[in-house]
Amino acid sequence: MLLELSKRGELKIFIPHIVWEERRTQLLEKLCGKVRALSESFEELKTRSSENLLVKGLIPPTLTIWNKAEIDAKSKKVMADFAAENKIIIVPLAHDHADRAWERYFNVEPPFNPAVEREKRRRDIPDSWIFEVAIDLHRRHSGLSALCHDGGLSDAIQSIGIRVFKEFRQVLTEIEKPVIDEVAAKAIATQDTVSVPIQEKSTTAISESALELALEKARRQFKDLDTKILGYVGYLGTPSKDQLFTLLSKLGIPVETAKNVTERLVIAGIIMDTGNHYLSRNKEASDLAATSVEPEIIQLLEEM
């Protein structure tokens, strides 16, 4: 996963402060809403309990719960610790970003769309600040890529020569592709190396029919297992290796057999091995395979 690659120093993750703070405050607002709802429900219960004969005379209930200031302070520390642990670089706003962002707004330059009404364009001012961060980073990092879901901002970032990905899986695929190609090349080279001795042995030691029987027996234990494994990866999203092989072992599939088939799918480029997890490189195929194993997986997960 991206965070694991970042911790190992194999890539750098830059996140604009405005994006980081937006995510923190989103989580903060959601949690504070739950706390507020709980507090209001408790106050209502306490008020009504004073009139309820069933609890009359009991010690009044109390509720100890966090206030917004406590949650806010803790959220800042947690997010800072998370960034430090995963070696994420939070890029602060520069002193001139606000001026540059407003200038883009008034000149209706990307990421602002001239086809959008002026008042509605103001909603994209935060995107303009993010774009200014991207411009500065691009000047210092020639191999910079971006992970962005916003269409307008993505177009603006691409306009300055930064490659944009919409899903993290696409980023992982791009990063791991050279490794996968190297593994596949080695596998092909190994296969070519051993093919001649195998052919010589088959012609001198056993008959052609015996060879077919032996190979058919070997193939039988792998029958339909590749589809099953691809379906599990597609259904679970990014299963850890332990999770995948544990589930398959509950079906009576030997772990070594499952690992063998999974490695073949990796070499074929159908799934990706990120180190500790697997993920699909062919969403259409994995989604199709997942439909055939979904009831089976649900039952296994319920039993765990």
Looking at the structure, tell me whether residues 82 and 186 fall in a common domain. no
- Integer CA distances (angstroms), 205 to 192, 194, 196, 209, 212, in order: 20, 16, 14, 12, 13
3-class SS letters over 206-222: CCHHHHHHHHHHHHHCC
Predicted pLDDT at 220 = 58
Question: How many beta carbons lie within 10 A of that of residue 176, not counting itself?
Answer: 19
What 3-state class would DSSP assign to 164? strand
Looking at the structure, tell me whether residues 85 and 206 fall in a common domain. no
- Is the Cβ–Cβ distance between 188 and 267 less than 8 Å? no
- Is the Cβ–Cβ distance between 165 and 146 less than 8 Å? yes
**210: number of CA atoms within 13 Å, CB side?**
7
C-alpha–C-alpha distance, residues 205 and 122, integer Å: 79
Question: pTM higher than 0.75 for the full model?
Answer: no
Q: Which residues, including other chains, have CB under 8 Å from residue 275's CB and lie 6 or more apart?
A: 4
Predicted pLDDT at 177 = 63
Task: Among 134, 168, 202, identify where a domain stops.
Answer: 168
Cα 88 to the center of its chain, rounded Å: 16
Whether omega for the bond prior to residue 111 falls within 30 degrees of 0, making it cis, is yes
- Is the Cβ–Cβ distance between 260 and 224 less than 8 Å? no
Where is 147: in which H helix or E strand? strand 145-147
Question: How many beta carbons lie within 10 A of that of residue 148, not counting itself?
Answer: 21
Looking at the structure, tell me whether residues 181 and 248 fall in a common domain. yes
Residue entry with tokens 């004073």: 50
What φ, ψ does residue 147 adopt, rounded to 5°? -110, 110
Looking at the structure, tell me whether residues 89 and 116 fall in a common domain. yes
Predicted pLDDT at 215 = 63
Predicted pLDDT at 256 = 87
Predicted pLDDT at 92 = 93
What 3-state class would DSSP assign to 59? coil
Task: Among 168, 199, 219, identify where a domain stops.
Answer: 168
Looking at the structure, tell me whether residues 14 and 148 fall in a common domain. yes
Predicted pLDDT at 222 = 62
- Residue-number span of the structural domain to which 61 is assigned: 2-168
Looking at the structure, tell me whether residues 62 and 156 fall in a common domain. yes
Predicted pLDDT at 268 = 83
Predicted pLDDT at 145 = 92
Provide the number of structural domains found in the chain.
2
Looking at the structure, tell me whether residues 91 and 111 fall in a common domain. yes
What CATH number is associated with residue 229? Answer: 1.10.10.10
For each successive 10 residues of the chain (304 residues), what is the average pLDDT?
82 94 94 95 87 84 93 95 94 91 92 91 92 94 89 92 87 66 47 49 53 62 78 89 89 86 87 87 83 83 76
Looking at the structure, tell me whether residues 138 and 26 fall in a common domain. yes
Predicted pLDDT at 127 = 93
